Amino acid sequence: MLFLLQPTVFSLLLILAISLAFLFIKRSSPTRTTHKNLPPSPRKLPIIGNLHQLGSSPHRSLRSLSRRHGPLMLLHLGSVPVLVVSSADGAREITKNHDLVFSNRPKVSIPDRLLYGGRDVAFSPYGDYWRQDMFAAGTDTTQAVLEWGVAELLRHPNVMKKLQDEVGEIGRGKPKISEDDLEKMHYLKAVIKETLRLHTPVPLLVPRESTQDVKIMGYDIAAGTQVYINVWAIGRDPSLWEDAEEFRPERFLNSAIDYKGFHYQLIPFGAGRRGCPGMLFAMTLNELAVVNMVHKFDFALPDGAEDLDMTETAGITVHKKSPLLVTLLLISIYKRTEVENGSTLRERKMLEQQEPSFLLKSFLFFILPLCVIFFLIKWLFINPASNKRLPPSPPKLPIIGNFHQMGLFPHHSLGSLAKKYGPVMLLHLGSVPTIIISSADAAREIMQTHDLIFSNRKKSYIVERLLYDYKDVAASNYGEFWRQLRSVCVLQLLSNKRVQSFRTVREEETALMMKKIKESSLSSLPLDLSEMFKSLTNDVVCRAAFGRKYGGDDSGKKFKQLLTDFLWLLGSIDIGDFIPWLSWISRFNGFSAKVDRVAKDLDEFLERVVEERLDMLKMESGRGENTEGDSREDFVDTLLRIHIDNSAGVSVDRDSIKALILDIFAAGTDTTSAVLEWAMTELIRHPRVMKKVQNEVREILKDKPETTEADLGEMHYLNAVIKETLRLHPPIPMLVPREARQDARVMGYDIAAGTLVMTNAWAIGRDPASWDEPEEFRPERFLNSSIDFKGHDFELIPFGAGRRGCPGTAFAMATNELVLANLVHKFDWALPGKAKGEDLDIDECTGLTIHRKNPLLAIATPSVY
Ligand code: HEM
C-alpha cells in the first residue's frame, strides 16, 4: 500500500530489485565471456576502469604492471577494452601474424584526445590534415631521437670518442659529411639503434584496434579492443637484451637486428601495414645531423654541471624534460698537427661560452624544422618519384648495376647481402630492377598476398627461341593462354591420378637401378650415384612423356646431349636481356647461334615424335580403339588428343605440345635427381640419420624383397629426410623468377610494374628466424611439425607457391620417396677408400639447378638384417 502511495520510492526499489536480480543471474549463469580465455587484468575501479594506473608516464607504469600480470594484459580505460603488449612475441603476433586484423586505428583513444581530436596523421585518413600532421610526426619524433642521442653521447664519453673516431676517419679532409658517407658508418648506426632502443620516441606506439575476434598467444581478444604495444618496455626487456638498461651501442655491431620492422625486439617505428612510412626519411636526417655535429664539435656539459638529467616529458612523443644545454668546442678539422707517436691531434677552441646551448638549440628548433620542410616540399611536390619508398639497395656500378654482386652462386652471395640489407632488396641487374626476397614473410607477400600481381615471367631471348615464343606453361605470361595450359598440366598431365598411372614405370625403373647396384656391390667398386640418379629420372620422365626410353642408340644419345645443352642454356644469362645495347655480344661470340642450333635440333626431334604418334593414333582410331584415360597413355598422347578433338575445352597447338614436353623435361628431370643426390650425400655425412631411416624402412618392409609405393605411406622419417634435404638444398635455390604485372607494395616498399622478382628459397630455408640451428641436417625437426613443401608454409618453398607454384610436386616426390626407400632398404653405404662420412664435400655446381660439383661416389654393401 505504501508503494502504491509513493510511486517514486516504488520505482526506485523496483529498479534496485531488477538490478540485483540481473547481477545475480549474470554471476550464476555462464555467460559468453566466461568461455573466453581472457588475458590477465589488473584490478579496475568502477567507471574509470584502469585509467588511474596509467600515471604520467604510461609506458613506465604499464611495464611495472606487466611484470606482475604478464606480457599481455587486458585493461579497461573507462569502458574501452585495451590490450597492452609488452613482449617481442606479442608484438610479432599483432603486427605480423594478425597484422590485417589489427590494422584499424581506434576512433576514440587517449592519443586522440591528447593530440588534435583525431586529426593527426596517424589517426586520420588521407585528407585535409594529412600534410600538416606529417610535419608534426616528422619533426617531433626526429627531434626526440636527436635530443636523446646527443644526451647519451654526453653521458658516455667513450661512445662519443669512438663515434668521433669513426666519423673523423671517414670524413677526413671533408668539410661536410654527405649521405653517401653514412653507409660506411657502422658505429653511428649502432649509436642510433641503441638510442632508439632505450628512448623510443613514441614508447607506446600509435594504438591499433582489432577488426574482429582473434586469438593472441592463447588469449581471446574481442573485436574493437584497442592495442597498445609498449615498445619502450620491449626495448628494455632483460630476456631480450643483455644489460638492458646500459647504453652500449656495441651490441648492434655484429648483429643483424634492425629497426625496420622485422626484428620485433626493436620496433620503434612499429611494423607491418601500419608501420611508420617516414622511417628512412627520419633516420637519414638524424644520422646526417649527429654525424655533422660530432664531426665538427666536441660537446661538454656547461660549467658546473655534474650529470645530465634524463627525466622525460609526458605525452605521446617523449622528450627530455629539461632542455639539453651543452658547451660546444669547435674541432678545427682542417688544421691537424702530427704529434710524436704519429697519431693526429685535433685542435679545439672554445665556442659560444657565453650562451652554451645556442648552437644546439638553434639546430633543434630552427634548422631541423627547416630541413624537414625542405625535404617535405621536395618529397611531395618536386620529385614525384621520391614519393616512393624503395627497398634498400647495395651500391651499384655503372652499366652492370649489381651484376658483380651475384657471384657464381647467387643464392649464397644474395643471402649474405640480405643479412645487411634486409629481406626485400632492390638490385639492378644491368638496367633491370630486381627485388630479392629472402624471408618467409616477404615470400608470402609475393606468392600469396600479391600472387596475381607477381605472376608474369621475364621475357628472354633464350626462352623465346627454345620454347616456341613462350608457347609453354612455365615461361608464358599470366593470361588466358597460360591459364589454359596450366589447367592441362594440373588436370590432365600431373594430377594425382595421372601420377599414380605411372607407378609401374617408376617401380620398373627403380628395380632396374637396384639390379645394377647389386651387381656392382659384388665387386665392391664405387658407384657413380649422381650419374645413376640422372639416368633414372630421365628414363622415368621419358617413359611418362613418350611412352618409351631413348637409350644407347644414336638417336637416344643425340637426344640426351640435346637435353643437356637445353638445360645448360636455360641456366645461362644472355647479356642482351639485361643490358639491351650489349645484345650484339651474344651474336658476336656465337651464343645466339648455339641457342638457335639447339632449338632447331630439338624441334626436329620432337616433330618426329609427334608425327609418329599422330600416325599411331590414326591407326588406333581406324581400328576403333580409344586410349583415352588408359593407363598406357603418355603425355604426348594426351596432348595430341586435346589438340585433335579439343576434348578439354582447350586448344593446344602443335608448338605448344612440343613446348610443354620440353617444360616437363626442363623442370622434372634435373631437379628430381638433385634431390636424390643431396639426400644420399647428407645421409652418408650423417650416419646416425642413415641408421634411423634404415631402421624405419627395414622395420616396415621386414623381409619383403622389394619396396613398392604401397609401403611408403608409413615411412614418416624417410619423408622428414626428404623435407630436410629440400630445406638445405632446394634444387632451384632462387626459384623461377617472376615479374610484377603492375605496381605493388611489398613489406611496406613500393615495387614498380616490370620489376623482376627472385626468391632465395635457399636463404629462407636457412633463416634462423624460422629454423632452430638452421645449418644442421636434422630431419627430426619435421616429425612433430605440420610444415610441408606444398606451398602453404613459406619457410619451406623449394617448389615455389601460389598460381605459378610447381605443378609437378607429386610426380617428383613419388620418384624420390620410392628410390630413397629402396636404396636404404637393401644396402649399407660407405665412401670409397674408407673415407669418413663427414669428409664428404658438399661443394655445389653452378647453374639454375644446383647439383653436387663432384659426382657422388659410394660403395654399396648388401645389408644383412
Ligand atoms: C624436386 C623436383 C622439383 C622442384 C624442386 C621443382 C621446382 C619448381 C619451382 C621452384 C617452380 C617455380 C615456382 C614458382 O614460380 O613459384 C616450378 C615450376 C614448374 N614445375 Fe617444377 N619442380 C620439380 C619437379 C617438377 C616436375 C617433376 C615437373 C613435371 C613433370 C615440374 C613441372 C613444373 C612446371 C610445368 C612449372 C611451371 C609452372 C608455371 O609457371 O605455371 N616440376 N618447379
pLDDT band of residue 340 (cuts 50, 70, 90) is: very low
* Per-residue pLDDT at 27 exceeds 60: no
Q: Is the CB of 475 under 6 A from ligand 1?
A: no
Q: Give kind and range of the element (H or E) at residue 814.
A: helix 809-826
Ligand 1 mean position, distance from CA 805 (Å): 7
Separation of 809 CA from ligand 1 center, angstroms?
A: 7
Q: Looking at the predicted structure, is the pLDDT value of residue 304 above 70? A: no
Task: Name the residue with higher pLDDT: 581 or 511.
Answer: 511
pLDDT of residue 388: 81
Which band of pLDDT confidence, cut at 50, 70 and 90, is reported for residue 32? very low
pLDDT at 387 (0 to 100)? 67
Average pLDDT value over all residues in the chain: 84
Ligand 1 center–CA 666 separation, angstroms: 9
**Which of 201-210, 238-247, 588-597, 623-632 has the least mean pLDDT?**
623-632
**CA dist., res. 100 & res. 389, Å (int):** 21
Is 806 annotated as ligand-binding? yes
The reply to whether ligand 1 has any atom less than 6 angstroms from the CB of 732 is: yes
> Ligand 1 pocket, 486 CB below 6 A?
yes
* Cβ(450)–Cβ(744) below 8 Å: yes
The best mutation among 724, 806, 809 to test binding of ligand 1, ranked by most ligand atoms within 8 Å of the C-beta, falls on: 806
Tell me how far apart the alpha carbons of residues 798 and 735 are, in angstroms, rounded to a whole number.
7
Tell me the DSSP string of 596-629: HHHHHHHHHHHHHHHHHHHHHHHHHHHTT---TT
808 lines ligand 1 (CB under 6 A): yes
CB 275 within 8 A of CB 122: no
Q: Which amino acid is at 468?
A: Y
Is 671 close to ligand 1, i.e. is its CB under 6 Å away? yes
Write out the DSSP string of 75-118.
EEETTEEEEEE-SHHHHHIIIIITTTTT-BPPSS-HHHHHTTSS
Helices within 669-715 (DSSP H only): 670-685, 687-701
| Rounded Cα–Cα distance for residues 57 and 232 (Å) | 11
Residue 103, all three cell numbers: 590494422
Q: Which positions ≥6 away from 30 have C-beta within 8 Å?
A: none
Which atom belonging to ligand 1 lies closest to the Cα atom of 447? 16
* Cβ of 489 below 6 Å from ligand 1: yes
Coil, strand or helix at 569: helix
Residue 694 CA to residue 697 CA, distance in Å, equals 5
- Going from the Cα of 806 to the center of ligand 1, the distance in angstroms, rounded, reads 4
> What pLDDT shows up at residue 626?
61
- Per-residue DSSP letter, 207: -
pLDDT given at position 361: 54
Q: Which of 646, 643, 645, 670 is nearest to 659 (CA)?
A: 643
580 is written with which cell numbers? Answer: 639491351
**Cα–Cα distance for residue pair 670/384, rounded to 1 Å:** 47
Indicate if the pLDDT at residue 466 is higher than 90: yes
Evaluate: CB of 796 within 6 angstroms of ligand 1. no
Nearest-angstrom CA–CA distance, 429 and 855? 32
Q: What's the average model confidence in pLDDT over 727-737? A: 97
Q: How far, in whole angstroms, is CA 734 from its chain's centroid?
A: 13
How many angstroms is it from 804 CA to the middle of ligand 1? 8
Of the listed ranges 270-274, 322-326, 677-681, 787-791, the one predicted with least confidence: 322-326
- 12 grid coordinates: 526506485
Contacts of 635 (CB under 8 A, 6+ apart): 493, 544, 545, 546, 660, 661, 664
Residue with cell 627485388: 435
What would the grid cell of residue 763 be? 636463404
Q: Is 734 in the pocket of ligand 1 (CB under 6 A)?
A: no
* pLDDT score at 309: 79
The listed range with the strongest mean pLDDT (8-12, 365-369, 384-388, 600-604) is 600-604
Summarised one tens digit per residue, pLDDT across range 51-97 is 888 888 889 999 999 999 999 999 998 888 999 999 999 999 999 88
Cα of 667 vs centre of ligand 1, distance in Å, is: 5
Residue-wise pLDDT for 501-545, tens only, equals 999 999 999 999 999 999 998 888 899 999 999 999 999 999 999
Q: Determine the Cα–Cα distance for residues 504 and 53; give it in Å rounded to an integer.
A: 72
Does residue 24 surpass a pLDDT of 80?
no
Whether the Cβ atoms of residue 352 and residue 327 lie closer than 8 Å to each other: yes
Q: Which ligand 1 atom is nearest residue 735's CA?
A: 10
Sheet holding 344-351, edge to edge: 297-300, 327-338, 344-351
Q: Which residue has the cell 594440373?
A: 490
* Grid cell 609401403 in the structure block, residue: 711
Exposure string over 338-347, b if 16+ CB within 10 A, otherwise e: eeeeeeeeee
Mutation pick for ligand 1 pocket among 799, 811, 848, 849 (CB with most ligand atoms within 8 Å): 799
DSSP H or E segment with residue 858: strand 857-862
Ligand 1 pocket member 859 (CB < 6 A): no
Q: Which of 680, 662, 725, 689 is nearest to 532 (CA)?
A: 680
Average pLDDT over residues 737-742: 96
Q: Against a cut of 0.90, is the pTM above it?
A: no
Nearest CA to ligand 1 atom 29: 808
Contacts of 832 (CB under 8 A, 6+ apart): 526, 857, 858, 859
How high is the pLDDT of residue 74? 94
* Ligand 1 contacts CB of residue 662 (under 6 A): no
pLDDT above 50: residue 824: yes
For the chain, percent of residues with pLDDT exceeding 90: 56
Residue 668 Cβ inside 6 Å of ligand 1? The answer reads: yes
> Any idea of the CA torsion for 817, 818, 824, 826, to the nearest 10 degrees?
170
> 392-451: per-residue pLDDT in tens?
999 999 889 999 999 999 999 999 999 999 999 999 999 999 999 999 999 999 999 999
Higher pLDDT, 52 or 348: 52
Distance CA 673, CA 539 (A): 11
- CA-nearest residue for atom 18, ligand 1, is 806
pLDDT of residue 464: 94
Q: Which residue owns the Cα nearest ligand 1 atom 11? A: 806
CA count, 13 A, side-chain hemisphere, 470: 13
C-alpha 174 – ligand 1 centre gap (Å): 54
Q: pLDDT category, 306, cuts 50, 70, 90?
A: low
Is 346 strand, coil or helix? strand
Compute the distance from residue 735 Cα to the ligand 1 centre, in Å: 9
Residue 2 binned pLDDT confidence (cut-offs 50, 70, 90): very low
**Is any atom of ligand 1 closer than 6 Å to the C-beta of 545?**
no
pLDDT of residue 14: 47
Tell whether ligand 1 has an atom less than 6 A from the beta carbon of residue 798.
yes
Q: What is the mean pLDDT of residues 490-498?
A: 93
Q: What is the mean pLDDT of residues 608-612?
A: 91
Which band of pLDDT confidence, cut at 50, 70 and 90, is reported for residue 693?
Answer: very high
Give dist(CA 46, CA 86) in Å, integer: 25
- pLDDT digit string, tens, across residues 633-670: 899 999 998 888 776 667 789 999 999 999 999 999 99
For cell 536480480, name the residue: 21
> Which residues are CB-neighbours of 673 under 8 A, at least 6 positions away?
530, 533, 534, 536, 537, 538, 851
Query: Residue 266 corresponds to which amino acid?
Result: L
pLDDT higher at 412 or 586? 412
Ligand 1 centre and the CA of 729: distance in Å?
A: 15
pLDDT, residue 614, reads 86
Task: Report residue 386's pLDDT band, with 50, 70 and 90 as the boundaries.
Answer: low
Contacts 24+ apart (CB under 8 A), 127-134: 131/376, 131/380, 134/278, 134/376
Cβ of 806 less than 6 Å from ligand 1: yes
Q: How many helices (H) and strands (E) does the chain have?
A: 30, 18
Full DSSP string of 418-461: HHHH-SEEEEEETTEEEEEE-SHHHHHIIIIITTTTT-B----H
Could you identify the atom of ligand 1 that is nearest to the CA of residue 815? 27
Measured distance CA(41)–CA(810) in Å, rounded: 50
Residue 273's pLDDT is 81
pLDDT at 344 over 60: no
pLDDT, tens digit (0-9, with 9 covering 90-100), for 364-384: 555 556 556 655 555 444 444
Phi then psi for residue 527, to 5 deg, are -105, 145
Question: Ligand 1 centre from 26 Cα, in Å?
Answer: 59
Which residue minimizes the CA distance to atom 41 of ligand 1? 804
Q: How many CB atoms lie within 10 A of CB 673?
A: 28
Residue 239: partners with Cβ closer than 8 Å, 6 or more residues away = none
Q: Is the CB of 804 under 6 A from ligand 1?
A: yes
| Residue located nearest, by CA, to atom 19 of ligand 1 | 806
Residue 12 has pLDDT above 50, yes or no: no
Q: Whose CA is nearest to atom 21 of ligand 1?
A: 806
* ipTM, interface predicted TM-score of the complex: 0.97
Residue 331's pLDDT is 52
How far is C-alpha 188 from the geometric centre of its chain's CA atoms? 27
Burial of residue 486, with CB atoms counted within 10 A of its CB: 0-12 exposed, 13-18 middle, 19 or more buried: middle
